[in-house]
């Protein structure tokens, strides 16, 4: 079939690739293209952050974890596998996503930073988004997919192009289809020069704010913030310093981080929804609208699983 995808972030590109591999003809329309998408700003590490419901997210996440693990052998993908540690201030149960990974276990006390009483660790994919989004674009066009940079303000123009439209518009779905359940959650991150640190560490429960350290191929991303209903994209210098201080408490290797180490500070808006929306909507007898958006802070984490689901739904 002829299929039009709206959105060229990780969801749009991954869905496009899967649809091409299923034999369809695919075109992407998007206002913003890599490297200027929200996906490019992500740290990004595999972690089902602010994405629901658990049972579906675990299945989509497992499928994506396996695909990303395989992509580590493709140098240009920017995917590497690293040791992951999430820390807890008090003993806690296994996270609901634990079945999606292979070597999950609770951390030993020796593995935990000072002041933490529990945590869990596993091997997880880390994605250098600058390399990864460029890789997906090349793979999509090599398989015959087309990308057109254009604003899409209504579905009528999209359906004039193709009988099947896939909505991968992220936060743009608020205006495109009037989804009032979708809200923005602001995230600010600091990208610094690599100092040799190789572990991913995450603290989701820090009283002073979400904190994480994500070493990538050529830099390290320090984060972050999670501010619901804040759509201010201007960089907050005070928050930059607060992020660095929080990360220094997680790992002593970052206690000497200075302004000279900072390569960039960026900010993006996560598309948060009560549940991730991956479903089919028959808007007319010969018109099929497929949705794939609302992934919260887990767009890359769920990308391949959700894309495979779209392919299954792609029939009249």
pLDDT of residue 185: 97
pLDDT of residue 34: 96
The token pair that represents 148 in the structure block: 């057109």
pLDDT of residue 266: 97
The three-state (H, E, C) secondary structure of the chain, written as one string: CEEEEECCCHHHHHHHHHHHHCCCEEEEEECCCCCCCHHHHCCCECCCCCCCCHHHHHHHHHHHHHHHHHHCCCHHHCEEEEEEEEEECCCCCCCCCHHHCCCCEECCHHHCCCCCCEEEEEEEEEECHHHHHHHHHHHHHHCCCEEEECCCCCHHHHHHHCCEEEECCHHHHHHHCCCCCCEEEEEEEEEEECCCCCCEEEECCCCCCCEEEEECCCEEEEECCCEECCCCCCCCHHHHHHHHHHHHHHCHHHCCCCHHHEEEEEEEEEEECCCCEEEEEEEECCEEEEEEECCCCCHHHHHHHHHHHHHHHCCC
User: Comparing C-alpha atoms, which of 132, 128, 151, 129 is closest to residue 140?
Assistant: 132
Query: Does the pLDDT of residue 230 top 90, yes or no?
Result: yes
Angle at 219 between CA 214 and CA 220, to 5 degrees: 25
**What's the CA gap between 310 and 316, in Å, rounded?**
13
Read off φ and ψ for residue 207, nearest 5 degrees.
-65, -25
pLDDT digits (tens, 9 = 90+) for 50-93: 999 999 999 999 999 999 999 999 999 999 999 999 999 999 99
Residue 316 binned pLDDT confidence (cut-offs 50, 70, 90): confident
pLDDT of residue 60: 98
**What's the CA gap between 152 and 259, in Å, rounded?**
40
């Amino acid at each position: 079939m002829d299929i039009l995808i709206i959105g060229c972030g990780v969801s749009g590109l991954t869905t496009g690739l899967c649809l091409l591999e299923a034999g369809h003809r695919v075109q992407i329309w998007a206002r913003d293209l890599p490297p200027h998408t929200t996906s490019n700003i992500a740290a990004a590490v595999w972690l089902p952050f602010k994405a629901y419901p658990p049972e579906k997210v675990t299945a989509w996440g497992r499928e994506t974890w396996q695909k990303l693990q395989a992509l580590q052998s493709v140098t240009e993908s920017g995917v590497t596998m690293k040791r992951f540690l999430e820390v807890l201030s008090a003993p806690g149960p296994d996270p609901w996503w634990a079945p999606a990974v292979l070597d999950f276990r609770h951390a030993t006390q020796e593995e935990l930073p000072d002041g933490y009483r529990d945590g869990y660790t596993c091997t997880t994919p880390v994605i250098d988004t600058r390399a990864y989004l460029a890789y997906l674009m090349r793979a999509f066009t090599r398989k015959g997919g087309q990308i057109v940079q254009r604003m899409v303000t209504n579905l009528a123009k999209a359906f004039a192009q193709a009988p099947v439209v896939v909505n991968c518009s992220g936060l743009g779905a608020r205006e495109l289809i009037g989804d009032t359940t979708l809200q923005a959650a602001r995230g600010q991150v600091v990208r610094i020069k690599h100092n040799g640190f190789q572990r991913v560490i995450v603290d989701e429960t820090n009283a002073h704010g979400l904190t994480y350290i994500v070493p990538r191929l050529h830099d390290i991303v320090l984060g972050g913030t999670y501010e619901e209903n804040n759509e201010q994209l201007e960089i907050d210098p005070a928050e930059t310093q607060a992020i660095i201080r929080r990360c220094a408490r997680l790992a002593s290797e970052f206690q000497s981080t200075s302004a000279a180490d900072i390569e960039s500070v960026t900010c993006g808006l996560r598309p948060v929804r009560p549940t991730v929306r991956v479903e089919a909507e028959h808007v007319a007898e010969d018109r099929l609208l497929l949705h794939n958006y609302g992934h919260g802070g887990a767009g890359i984490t769920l990308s391949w699983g959700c894309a495979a689901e779209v392919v299954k739904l792609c029939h009249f």
